[in-house]
Amino acid sequence: MQSIFTYQSIRKMLQVITHKIKKIFFLIIGFISLSLPLYAAKPIAAVTGVKAGSMRLMSVSVLLETQLINSINSAGVFSILNPELLKDQLTRYKCTDEECVLAFARTAKINLIIRAEVEDKGSSIVYSIYAQGINSPYYGRIAYKYSAEIPLSGLSISTIEFKYLSEEHAVYFVSGLLKNYKAQFFINANKIDSEESVTGDFDLFRYDNIYSEKDDIASYNKIGRVNISNEGVINVSQGIEVRDNDFIFITFNQKAEFIESVFYGRKREMVFENKPLTDTAIFFFSTVPASALMPVLAPLSHYKNGDYSGLSLWALNFLPYLYIEYKGLTNRPDSYRNDRRDISAQTSANYRFGLYMLFCGGIPLVIDSFSNRMLYQAAGYIKQPYIGNTMSAVYLSLISGGGGLFYRGYRLEGYLYFHLHNILLYMALKKLYPDENYNHDANSYVKENRDKKKAYAYLGALGVLKLIEITHVILVKDNIRNGRLLEESFGFGPAVYRDPNGISYGAQYTLRY
Amino acid sequence: MSQRIKNILKFIILISLIYVSIIIIFPLSLTTAQTKASPNGVAVFGIPNNYSSDIALTAEAVERVKKVFADCGRFMPVSREVETAYSEAKKDMRAEENIYTKTAKLLDLDLYIMLSAYQLGNFLYSDISIVPINHQYKYLEKKIRLRSKIKFNISLKAGKEIAILHYNLPVSAAVIKVYENDTYLINAGEWQGIKNNEKYRLPDCDVQIIKTGRFESIVKISAEKKEGDKLQIDIFPDVNKIVDELDEDISRNTINRYELGTHGEAEKRFIEGICVVNMCGNVCVPSYGAFLSTSYLGFKDSKADLPGVALSATIIAGQLLLPELMTDFKVNFFPWKQDSNKTEKMQDLQKFLWLSLPITFSTAYMDQLAYQFRSTEHLPPFFKDKDNIAAIFSLFLPGGGLFYKGHRLAGWSFYFSEMAAAAYTVYNYGSDSSKYALYALGIIKLIDIAYAYITSPSYSFYNLEKERKIEPVSLNMGIKTGHNRDQIYNIIVTSAF
């Protein structure tokens, strides 16, 4: 009987087999690579794609995805799945909706699914990035959500700037995620399943024993505290025995702070010219003319920059001081003296306060009128002169109220210091100068007693305020963060509630899901 | 040789087995996991006509509606399985059957949506049919027709209607697993709005949430339940937040479509127009100068509103001549000149009337602007913050905010009331009646500001984008240019299906 396996047929068969095996091999490799991180001790993260809201955002979504993967990789906390392979697998099974992706993640033992969306809002775009934890304590819930609106008006944004913007938001997302995400690490044979060094005191958890391994969700309880060193578990709460599959949760706050500060430092270098001495000298020599011209300079600058909210704030906040300045400079004590009129402490204080506002008190509002725009442009990766150095910020805070904070880009805090400084200075001046009454008989002025104690108290308070302000200015970062955060997963704020016993005051902690 | 081939064949069989198991088991595992905890489902069927633009419009609306369903967390839009189910349903269709109902039933959905978006004349329409399959949601059945003139808005309006559908829609969950100690697994989680550790009171039992997942939760229930038992938990979706976001998007698209000139430039010209151009214009040509100054904002082919010009001219003449008329032309025309016939009170009134001329100029300007905005279909600058801006205008100008929002009659009413109260206060300054007039002025001003803030704009093209459903039968006319550049006139009578 002639064999069916001739050389040619076998060769052909082998060619077919090789081709098939190749395909199968790739698929298996794909699955093996998907399952490889099963044995890795880091939590596994997968970026399942960035959805673009319009055609013009297609390239932006690709940039954001790349930057997300880069940022997650550089954080070093997660093992990240090969995104191309993942996409291929998900598309192959048409597994694109949330339910299916979560089921896939559970099957593939992925710990964290990251997806994002870029929406077109005309003059701005919105990045929404979600991280969903797959295992405890999330079971598919949103572990962290980051949503930011990025303004595009008034900026010339090319691909390179979009790359930077995407990188910045990716970094802030990852840092927020690291602060909020709780990674689950199991203890087996008295050792932590982690290739990273895990040391310290942790809460120890154990699953309730009513669930099977197949369950997607299970409840657990805290059973005590555990102390872990590089050698393993060294101490547990009294009466507790550590069993295999007990677990702890770990957060990564320090790493989050680190990647944020590294990014901030790099951005500062990119967007500021950073010439502290020259800039401070320029501010020093322009203080008096700029302050004197402030009532004209500041509104024009706000108007030119299209900063109408800044213009309104300037008008509302400056008007009372303009009144005192005008009143003080037009009613000088010297002219009163010439007319032999009584000089009240208020007249003296108004005059001196008017002089202060004329020579340096107006500078914060001039700074606000241009720094706001410059910092906005710096946030959009356009290099800026004059701003961004601590020496100038300290100088401005030293000579006026809130100047340094306006310079750093904090309008609210700037106005707060501006008002506190001006009020304390005015009160101090009012108490420092006595009423002077003209005595017609003696043809001279009689000084009334002044309240020295109060004057020094106000001056002391002003000094303390100045110290606080300067420390604040040194510690605070330049406000060059791009975009406006729309909402974050967690929030903390004051709370006022009405209840049957009256009004209750307190603090609230808000979680968005 | 044969041993090698055997080995190769063995290897192939082994690999094939792995391949088959991966191909079959993996999707199965997904399906199993999915059906186990699936929330209620909805299918959104786009029904476009043959025009490519309408197909794109419908597809966009379908995507938006699906997104809103997902955001509201009550019905999970299905997408993967719809095509297969649709083909399956088509196979043995009977004449009386509806293909969409059959598909939805095949997919075991709770409801489905039929949606079409199309252009007729100058309007874009969207017809939405909500068809419940599950009798529990029978009350949701309805047909809605929406219209817009802006392509991007039609899908947003469809989304808004779907969001509104979710008002007061509680979570409907089912027990999918029974554990010991009154502990159960239910198919509702964070996606539906269930929160960790919350306790919900149901008519027949209490439900204590122990652990929440995305689509499932472990709960303790105070009454005994078995697998498949339904629970209706009174948690409602945050519809207002979703509607507000969609409304914001609709407003933004509308402002982009109807804004005057380039963004940023129009705002500057608006302020310059009020502060400088109009003042100079009115000094040169009182009243008509207000209309001339509007052209500084860049209106094309604008026409003056003559009744408005006549009214403001009359007011300006009145302000200049009122003291003369009150004294039979015996007093000096200029307020800074006092004569024997001009009492101090009269001089104060004359000063007030002359000094308030810039207010009248500005009001006349705002009135002409309101007319131009309406007739040329443009929205005023700063319209994104329309309520705040209107309140600020009313603070500085009598009725200013109402003119800004296009309510000219109301604007003039507030102008006359406030100016009359102010003039009376000045004329009777120092007397009790002056005090009462001043209080009245304060109250009118407050009403003016509040009304300007809360009232809706009167621009019909803006309100059209904000309106909700329209009547099922409508008549429209339009002109289109055909392929051969010939004009096509159409009269359209439409009726909801």
Quote the domain boundaries for residue A194: 184-250
For the residues of B51-100, what is the DSSP string, one character each? -HHHHHHHHHHHHHHHHHHHHHTSSEEP-TTHHHHHHHHHHT--TT--HH
What's the CA gap between B193 and B236, in Å, rounded? 8
A107 lies in some domain: yes
Q: Is the pLDDT of residue B29 over 60?
A: no
Residue ranges of A 187-226 with Cβ closer than 8 A to chain B: 210-211, 215-220
Residue ranges of A 143-182 with Cβ closer than 8 A to chain B: 153-154
What's the CA gap between B196 and A513, in Å, rounded? 11
Q: Do residues A116 and A64 make contact, with C-beta atoms less than 8 angstroms apart?
A: yes
Q: Are residues A96 and B210, on separate chains, in Cβ contact within 8 Å?
A: no
DSSP A245: T
**Stronger pLDDT, B497 or B138, i.e. the higher one:** B138
Using alpha carbons, list the distances in angstroms from residue A352 to A294, A347, A348.
Answer: 18, 9, 6
Q: Are residues A229 and A278 in the same domain?
A: no
Q: Are residues A99 and B34, on separate chains, in Cβ contact within 8 Å?
A: yes
Q: Are residues A105 and A164 in the same domain?
A: yes
For chain B, how many residues are written?
497
Q: Are residues B214 and A98, on separate chains, in Cβ contact within 8 Å?
A: yes
Which residues in chain B touch residue A98, judged by CB atoms under 8 angstroms apart?
70, 191, 214
Q: Are residues A448 and A311 in the same domain?
A: yes
Task: Look up the CATH number of domain B38-169.
Answer: 3.40.50.10070
Residue ranges of A 439-478 with Cβ closer than 8 A to chain B: none
The confidence score (pLDDT) of residue B158 equals 95
The confidence score (pLDDT) of residue B30 equals 40
Smallest Cα distance from A107 to chain B, Å: 8
Q: Which of A31, A102, A306 sits opposite B264 (nearest CB)?
A: A306
What's the CA gap between A188 and B285, in Å, rounded? 91
Cβ neighbors of B251 (< 8 A, separation 6 or more) are B384, B465, B466
Q: Is A303 on the interface with B (CB under 8 A)?
A: yes
The partner residues of A205 in beta bridges, in order of sequence, read A222, A247
Which residues in chain B touch residue A210, judged by CB atoms under 8 angstroms apart?
179-181, 183
Q: Are residues B80 and A21, on separate chains, in Cβ contact within 8 Å?
A: no
Smallest Cα distance from A104 to chain B, Å: 6
Q: Are residues A28 and B264, on separate chains, in Cβ contact within 8 Å?
A: no
Which residues in chain B touch residue A218, judged by CB atoms under 8 angstroms apart?
211, 218
Q: Is the pLDDT of residue B421 over 90?
A: yes
> How many Cβ atoms sit within 10 Å of the Cβ of residue A448?
11
Q: Spell out a b/e string for B359-382, using b for 16 or more CB atoms within 10 Å of the CB, else e.
A: bbbbbbbbbbbbbbbbebebbbbb
Mean pLDDT of B12-40: 50
Q: Are residues B183 and A219, on separate chains, in Cβ contact within 8 Å?
A: yes
Torsion, CA A275, CA A276, CA A282, CA A286, rounded to 10: 140
What's the CA gap between A208 and B208, in Å, rounded? 16
Q: Are residues A300 and A448 in the same domain?
A: yes
Interval B439-455: pLDDT, tens: 999 999 999 999 999 99
DSSP B135: G
Mean pLDDT of A321-344: 92
Q: Which residue of B has its CA nearest to A154?
A: B264
Q: Is the pLDDT of residue B225 over 50?
A: yes
* Interface size, chain A vs chain B, as Cβ–Cβ contacts under 8 Å: 122
Task: Quickly state the pLDDT bin for A39 (edges 50, 70, 90).
Answer: very low
Q: Which of B22, B214, B256 sits opposite A102 (nearest CB)?
A: B214
Handedness of CA B347, B352, B353, B357 (dihedral sign): positive
What's the CA gap between B219 and B203, in Å, rounded? 16
Q: Which of A146, A181, A216 is the last residue of a domain?
A: A181
The confidence score (pLDDT) of residue B34 equals 37
Q: Is the pLDDT of residue A496 over 80?
A: no
Q: Are residues B30 and A107, on separate chains, in Cβ contact within 8 Å?
A: yes
Torsion, CA B169, CA B175, CA B176, CA B178, rounded to 10: 160
Q: Are residues A103 and B30, on separate chains, in Cβ contact within 8 Å?
A: yes
Q: Which residue of A has its CA nearest to B180?
A: A210
Task: Quickly state the pLDDT bin for A309 (edges 50, 70, 90).
Answer: confident
Q: Is the pLDDT of residue A13 over 60?
A: no
Please state, rounded to an integer, the average pLDDT across all residues of chain A.
84
Smallest Cα distance from A210 to chain B, Å: 7
Hey, where are the domains in chain B?
A: 1-30, 38-169, 171-233, 259-466
Q: Is the pLDDT of residue B466 over 70?
A: yes
What's the CA gap between B116 and B51, in Å, rounded? 12
CATH fold label, B171-233: Thrombin, subunit H (2.40.10)
Which residues in chain B touch residue A31, judged by CB atoms under 8 angstroms apart?
22
Cβ neighbors of B139 (< 8 A, separation 6 or more) are B132
Task: Quickly state the pLDDT bin for A99 (edges 50, 70, 90).
Answer: confident
Q: Are residues B34 and A123, on separate chains, in Cβ contact within 8 Å?
A: no
Cβ neighbors of A463 (< 8 A, separation 6 or more) are none
Q: Which of A21, A96, A100 sits opposite B34 (nearest CB)?
A: A100
Domains B38-169 and B171-233 share a fold: no
The confidence score (pLDDT) of residue B465 equals 93
Using N-to-C axis directions, what is the helix angle for A363-379 and A276-292, rounded to 10°? 130
Structural domain total, chain A = 3
Which residues in chain A touch residue B253, judged by CB atoms under 8 angstroms apart?
122
Residue ranges of A 375-414 with Cβ closer than 8 A to chain B: none
Q: Are residues A130 and A224 in the same domain?
A: no
Q: Which residue of A has its CA nearest to B211?
A: A219
The confidence score (pLDDT) of residue A2 equals 46
Interval B313-357: pLDDT, tens: 999 999 999 999 999 898 999 999 888 888 999 999 999 999 999
Q: Are residues A74 and A177 in the same domain?
A: yes
Q: Do residues B111 and B133 make contact, with C-beta atoms less than 8 angstroms apart?
A: yes
Smallest Cα distance from B265 to chain A, Å: 9
Q: Which amino acid is at B303?
A: K
Q: Is the pLDDT of residue B241 over 80?
A: yes
The confidence score (pLDDT) of residue A38 equals 42
What's the CA gap between A483 and A376, in Å, rounded? 9
**Stronger pLDDT, A47 or A189, i.e. the higher one:** A47
Q: Is the pLDDT of residue B22 over 80?
A: no
Residue whose tokens read 């300045």: A325
Q: Are residues B214 and A139, on separate chains, in Cβ contact within 8 Å?
A: yes
Residue ranges of A 96-115 with Cβ closer than 8 A to chain B: 96-100, 102-104, 106-107
Q: Are residues A139 and A208 in the same domain?
A: no
Interval A344-388: pLDDT, tens: 999 999 999 999 999 999 999 999 999 999 999 999 899 999 999
Smallest Cα distance from B215 to chain A, Å: 8
Q: Which residue of B has its CA nearest to A27?
A: B19
The confidence score (pLDDT) of residue A123 equals 79
Which residues in chain B touch residue A308, judged by CB atoms under 8 angstroms apart?
267, 382
The confidence score (pLDDT) of residue A105 equals 87
Number of H helices, E strands in chain A: 16, 16
Q: Are residues B179 and A210, on separate chains, in Cβ contact within 8 Å?
A: yes
> By percentage, how much of chain A surpasses pLDDT 70?
86
Domain with residue A68: its CATH number is 3.40.50.10070
A127 lies in some domain: yes
Q: Is the pLDDT of residue A33 over 90?
A: no
**CA end-to-end distance (rounded Å), chain A:** 74
Interval B274-297: pLDDT, tens: 989 999 999 999 989 999 999 999
Task: Quickly state the pLDDT bin for B16 (edges 50, 70, 90).
Answer: low
From edge to edge, which strands make up the β-sheet containing A183-188? A191-192, A183-188, A246-250, A200-207, A220-229, A232-236
Q: Do residues B378 and B299 make contact, with C-beta atoms less than 8 angstroms apart?
A: yes
What ipTM was reported for this prediction?
0.74
Q: Is the pLDDT of residue B87 over 80?
A: no
User: Among A41-50, B260-269, B478-487, which range has the highest average pLDDT?
Assistant: A41-50
Q: Is the pLDDT of residue A1 over 80?
A: no
Interval A216-239: pLDDT, tens: 788 888 888 888 887 777 777 777
Interval A66-76: pLDDT, tens: 999 999 999 88
Mean pLDDT of A140-167: 86
A268 lies in some domain: no
Q: Is the pLDDT of residue B122 over 70?
A: yes
Using alpha carbons, list the distances in angstroms from residue A465 to A401, A423, A459.
Answer: 9, 12, 10
Q: Which of B12, B177, B214 sits opposite A141 (nearest CB)?
A: B214
**Stronger pLDDT, B262 or B138, i.e. the higher one:** B138
Q: Do residues B443 and B398 make contact, with C-beta atoms less than 8 angstroms apart?
A: no
The confidence score (pLDDT) of residue A176 equals 94
Q: Which of B78, B211, B382 sits opposite A217 (nearest CB)?
A: B211
A256 lies in some domain: no
Q: Which of A280-294, A488-502, B321-335 is least confident?
A: A488-502
Residue ranges of A 10-49 with Cβ closer than 8 A to chain B: 10, 14, 17, 20-21, 24, 27-28, 31
Q: Is the pLDDT of residue A191 over 60?
A: yes
Which residues in chain A touch residue B220, judged by CB atoms under 8 angstroms apart?
none
Handedness of CA B385, B386, B391, B397 (dihedral sign): positive
Q: Is the pLDDT of residue B310 over 60?
A: yes
The confidence score (pLDDT) of residue A278 equals 93
Q: Which residue of A has its CA nearest to B186?
A: A217
Smallest Cα distance from B45 to chain A, Å: 17
Which residues in chain A touch residue B189, judged by CB atoms under 8 angstroms apart?
139-141
Smallest Cα distance from B70 to chain A, Å: 9
Q: Are residues A277 and A361 in the same domain?
A: yes
Question: Can the peptide bond before residue B48 be classed as cis, meaning omega within 30 degrees of 0?
Answer: no
Q: Which of B26, B27, B215 sits opposite A99 (nearest CB)?
A: B215
> How many Cβ atoms sit within 10 Å of the Cβ of residue B392?
19
Q: Are residues A153 and B264, on separate chains, in Cβ contact within 8 Å?
A: yes
Q: Is the pLDDT of residue B27 over 70?
A: no
Smallest Cα distance from B193 to chain A, Å: 8
Q: Please calculate the CA angle A338-A340-A343 and round it to the nearest 5 degrees.
A: 100
**Stronger pLDDT, A455 or A212, i.e. the higher one:** A455
Q: Which of A150, A181, A212 is the last residue of a domain?
A: A181
A67 lies in some domain: yes
For chain A, how many residues are written?
513
Interface test with B, best of A139, A311, A510 (most B CBs within 10 A): A139
